[in-house]
Amino acid sequence: MKTKLKIVAIGGGSSYTPELVEGFIKRYKELPVTELWLVDVEEGKSKLDIVGAMAGRMIKAAGLNCEVHLTLDRKTALANADFVITQLRVGQLAARIKDERIPLSHGMIGQETNGAGGIFKALRTIPVILDIVEDMKQLCPNAWLVNFTNPSGIITEAVMRYGKWNRIVGLCNIPVNAIAEESKLLGEEPENLFFQFAGINHMHWHTIVDKNGIDRTEELIDTMYRDTKNTSIVANIQDNELIYEQVKNLHMIPCPYHIYYYRTDRMLEQEFREFKEHGTRAEAVKRIEQELFELYKDPKLDYKPKQLAERGGARYSDAACEVIRSIYNDDKKIMTVSTVNHGTITDLPYDSVVEVTCTMTSNGPIPFQFGSFKPQERGILQLMKSMEQLTIEAAVTGDRGTLLQAFTLNPLILSGDVAKQTMDELLEAHKQYLPNFFRRGK
């Protein structure tokens, strides 16, 4: 086992980075990170400098033997890396604002990882991630890629399917948050409960069994609906609980993002109201980020400020750092991640990527067998997986017909001429990041 680790964070100028650094500090005895490289692009240099300086102060205050390097040269950073974390946003928040505003202008959900906006975030990201993988093949062929870039499941499948890179784990903080919050609702410590998640990223369900083998899922559903404030564990999904009869019928706990599919009308109404009052969620995040970076500039600040929780990335470090720590120590920790299906969910293609409960090992995630869903989950799950795979194919080929098929399948996108018009507007809005859609004949 190596006693010195080199970790590279691509998108290192992110406002989330202090939480990542805090996670490494807390785990230093089990995860001896001696080199932390923060990488960004020219447009993100000012943020990288601010966050990098703060990361250095945090590590110095903790008294750790770890060097922090800041660079715009990805290849220099990747050389001989042990772990690579991707937390990037192609086009930065300006692109997200377009992803949200344009669908809303056509009467559709405008959201970062769902609907038309989610598809376009994937389209911009996949070519960049595949380029990173090609660099990794040359510069750090034994490294693990830990992807936190949304939409995480789609990105992970693109890397496996087209990048031919299997040393990847896709991450989301939703399962980590659910375990922490739902354990409290049941009055149990998380280690006394087994949460089995199954589905795909932002489209999964889970059940809960305690150490005595008693299924606590129904109890949790009833507990959640006695106080509707208990139903939200995501910062950008507010007081819009799912319908009790529907969740009760599932006999499983849905991911909070199901609200966009189970109660589209209510979420669309909320988005229009908030847009009128405050702008889109991306514009709210932009204001939060500006405040955070003003805090980060303080030369005396050497710890993660509590305001970061408002950004929506609660327990981010727990997800990213625990995956890395568990792979490094081969300690068989149980976590929920995106990984290759290999028959875990029989309703989905064998070689597709699923988000499931796994045992983490030095060889990567080993999923707990799930089996088959009931029709009420299976139908939308298979539809969404097909949509994901068409999105990946479109990102790689630049084929507009394939992209329109992905739009047509997505339940949050209106069909026909509206879908085509929205697609064309988004393509034009993001033209600089999507050159393969604008080559002759496309």
Q: Any long-range contacts for 128-132 (C-beta under 8 Å, 24+ apart)?
A: 128/88, 128/90, 129/86, 129/155, 129/158, 129/159, 129/163, 130/158, 130/159, 130/162, 130/163, 130/396, 132/10, 132/74, 132/78, 132/84, 132/86
Looking at per-residue pLDDT, the higher value among 6 and 227 belongs to 6
Using the predicted structure, report yes or no on whether residue 28 has a pLDDT greater than 90.
Answer: yes
| Conformation bin of residue 70: beta by default, left when phi > 0, alpha when psi is -120 to 50 | beta
CA distance 197 to 105: 35
Q: Which burial class, exposed, middle or buried, applies to 302 when counting CB atoms under 10 A from its CB (0-12, 13-18, 19+)?
A: middle
257 belongs to the catalytic site: yes
Write out the two tokens for 360: 């983490």
Write down the pLDDT at residue 312.
Answer: 59
Q: Average pLDDT for residues 391-397, to the nearest whole number?
A: 98
What are the domain boundaries of the chain?
5-170
* Coil, helix or strand at residue 377: helix
Rounded to two decimals, the pTM is 0.94
CA distance 87 to 149: 5
Q: Work out whether strand 334-340 and strand 253-254 pair parallel, antiparallel, or are unpaired.
A: unpaired
Using the predicted structure, report yes or no on whether residue 268 has a pLDDT greater than 90.
Answer: yes
Using the predicted structure, report yes or no on whether residue 441 has a pLDDT greater than 90.
Answer: no
pLDDT tens for 32-45 read 999 999 999 999 99
Helices and strands in the chain: count of H runs, count of E runs? 16, 12
Write down the pLDDT at residue 234.
Answer: 47
In contact, 365 and 169? CB cutoff 8 Å? yes
* Coil, helix or strand at residue 215: strand
Using the predicted structure, report yes or no on whether residue 314 has a pLDDT greater than 80.
Answer: no
What Rg value do the Cα atoms of the chain yield, rounded?
21
Q: Measured in Å, how far apart are the chain's first and last C-alpha atoms?
A: 50
**Pick from 79, 80, 96: nearest CA to 88:** 96
Would you place residue 418 in the very low, low, confident or very high pLDDT band (cuts 50, 70, 90)?
very high
Write out the two tokens for 131: 């380029």
CA distance 434 to 427: 7
Write down the pLDDT at residue 89.
Answer: 95
In contact, 310 and 63? CB cutoff 8 Å? no
User: Residue for token digits 């369900």?
Assistant: 205
CA distance 380 to 387: 10
| Conformation bin of residue 13: beta by default, left when phi > 0, alpha when psi is -120 to 50 | alpha
CA distance 395 to 403: 8
List the catalytic residue out of 16, 162, 225, 257.
257
Q: Work out whether strand 203-210 and strand 253-254 pair parallel, antiparallel, or are unpaired.
A: antiparallel
Evaluated on CA atoms 15, 16, 19, 23, the torsion sign reads negative
In contact, 344 and 369? CB cutoff 8 Å? yes
CA distance 116 to 246: 26
User: What is the secondary structure of 145-164 as a DSSP string?
Assistant: EEE--SSHHHHHHHHHHTS-
| Mean of all residue pLDDT scores within the chain | 93
Write down the pLDDT at residue 261.
Answer: 96
Write down the pLDDT at residue 299.
Answer: 95
**Pick from 144, 137, 139: nearest CA to 171:** 144
Evaluated on CA atoms 283, 85, 18, 235, the torsion sign reads positive
Per CATH, is 5-170 categorized as 3.40.50.720?
A: yes
Using the predicted structure, report yes or no on whether residue 310 has a pLDDT greater than 70.
Answer: no
